[in-house]
């Protein structure tokens, strides 16, 4: 009877051969790295489409039930509506930003920008008064020289803004692709969430359900209560700017969108604009503009309690860092995915820290109880047996 040929002791087993193992690991690392390079340009689009799918899934589920259990039709309708929103208002905001920046650039190039002479009282302001007065005085006489002094500080921001403006068409295309990809994520959504739960269970088995639920709740809270309200407020303000014939309406609407996403508020734009409108236009037109734009400025304060419930626990500074970092890293689409991703990370870290703090308190209480029991048993008098 033939016997299985055993490998010679001189020949190492393939699994234990360090050279072969190193080659396999190197090939695996090369494939992973190459795959990462290939999908790197699409990561912002994939993240944004996943965020939209999570935020809009309750709407998709409700619409599918209203249509008699037709999820495909529901996904198609939501995708078409999203494309209409991106092609319409979102494109207007993006191209309004481009037109506004070009308008400012043309005015700087032709020398039409006028800077008034500063008041002498500015010099008496604490800390920044003298420096601000000198820079203001220089700008009123030689604007190019003043901008030259600010260029070392403004260059990084200006480079990012100009790059975003120059790629405005590409940013709109990214939004369109992300909306279309979102439509394909609705139907397999529950299965994808289940797979994510299984993956997270391998990392944090005891908190996988809670972490996945917390991630979804944070995405919906920030996307609706921060991003959605900021877009609505910027769109309403932009309509008012266009009707009121304000120069650079798209640029100011985009600035309100940026301030709304960053949770700073649009009052720093609307208050000076209302004052300027009263000084330069007819009183009747100024009154109508004020009656429209003041309620628009309170849209975020009025809607957030209904959209976000008790409000977001994520600090404003985290949202602001997400806005700036996302825009610098990924352009216009990063303005939206940055605060959401950072808010999710913050909430997960906070939940983990609360869990660790609760666990340490439990351990301390258990140790104290054991110490009390040991002390009580040692103090108990011993009975002598006869």
Q: Per the structure, how many domains does the chain have?
A: 1
Concatenated DSSP letters of 30-63? HHHHHHHHHHGGGHHHHHHHHHHHHHHHHHHHHH
Residue 275 sits in which domain range?
42-357
Question: What is the residue-averaged pLDDT of the chain?
Answer: 74
Q: Retrieve residue 244's tokens.
A: 């009121």
Q: Which of 140-144, 223-227, 281-285, 380-384 has the lowest mean pLDDT?
A: 380-384
Of 55-59, 217-221, 331-335, the range with the highest mean pLDDT is 55-59
Does residue 311 register a pLDDT over 50? no
What is the reported pLDDT for 288? 92
Does residue 242 register a pLDDT over 80? yes
Tell me if residue 212 falls in helix, strand or coil. helix
Q: Which of 83-92, 158-167, 252-261 has the lowest mean pLDDT?
A: 158-167
Would you say residue 25 lies in a domain?
no
Q: Retrieve residue 324's tokens.
A: 């700036």
pLDDT per position as a tens digit, 30-41: 999 998 898 888
Cα-based torsion angle of the residue sequence 356, 359, 363, 365 in order, rounded to the nearest 10 degrees? 120
Would you say residue 385 lies in a domain?
no
pLDDT per position as a tens digit, 132-145: 677 666 666 655 55
Would you say residue 381 lies in a domain?
no
What is the reported pLDDT for 144? 54
Would you say residue 17 lies in a domain?
no
Would you say residue 28 lies in a domain?
no
Would you say residue 207 lies in a domain?
yes
Burial of residue 330 (CB within 10 Å: 0-12, 13-18, 19+) is: buried
- pTM of whole model > 0.75? no
Would you say residue 261 lies in a domain?
yes
Does residue 10 register a pLDDT over 70? no
Would you say residue 379 lies in a domain?
no
């Amino acid at each position: 009877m033939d016997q299985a040929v055993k490998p010679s002791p001189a020949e190492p087993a393939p699994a234990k051969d360090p050279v072969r193992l190193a080659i396999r690991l190197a090939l695996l690392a090369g494939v992973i790295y190459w795959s990462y390079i290939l999908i790197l340009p699409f990561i912002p689009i994939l993240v944004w489409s996943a965020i939209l799918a999570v935020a809009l899934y309750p709407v998709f589920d409700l619409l599918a039930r209203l249509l008699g259990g037709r999820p495909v039709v529901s996904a198609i309708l939501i995708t078409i509506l999203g494309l209409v929103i991106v092609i319409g208002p979102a494109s207007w905001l993006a191209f309004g930003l481009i037109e506004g920046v070009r308008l400012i650039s043309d005015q700087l190039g032709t020398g039409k920008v006028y800077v008034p002479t500063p008041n002498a009282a500015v010099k008496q302001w604490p800390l920044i008064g003298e420096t601000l007065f000198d820079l203001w005085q220089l700008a009123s006489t030689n604007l190019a020289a003043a901008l030259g002094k600010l260029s070392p500080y403004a260059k990084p921001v200006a480079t990012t803004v100009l790059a975003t403006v120059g790629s405005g068409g590409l940013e709109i295309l990214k939004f369109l692709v992300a909306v279309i990809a979102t439509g394909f994520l609705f139907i397999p959504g529950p299965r994808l969430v289940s797979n994510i739960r299984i993956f997270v269970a391998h990392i944090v088995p005891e908190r996988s359900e809670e972490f996945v639920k917390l991630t979804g709740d944070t995405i919906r809270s920030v996307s609706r209560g921060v991003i959605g309200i900021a877009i609505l407020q910027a769109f309403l303000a932009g309509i008012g700017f266009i009707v009121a014939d304000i120069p650079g309406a798209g640029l100011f609407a985009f600035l309100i969108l940026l301030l709304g996403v960053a949770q700073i508020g649009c009052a720093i734009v609307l208050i000076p604009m209302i004052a300027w409108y009263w000084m330069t236009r007819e009183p009747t037109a100024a009154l109508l503009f004020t009656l429209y734009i003041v309620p628009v400025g309170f849209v975020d304060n009025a809607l957030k309690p209904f959209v976000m419930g008790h409000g977001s626990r994520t600090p404003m500074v985290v949202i602001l860092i997400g806005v700036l970092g996302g825009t610098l890293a990924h352009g216009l689409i990063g303005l939206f995915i940055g605060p959401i991703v950072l808010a999710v990370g913050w909430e997960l870290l906070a939940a983990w820290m609360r869990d660790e703090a609760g666990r340490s308190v439990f351990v301390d209480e258990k140790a104290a109880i054991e110490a009390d029991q040991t002390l009580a048993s040692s103090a108990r008098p011993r009975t002598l047996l006869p």
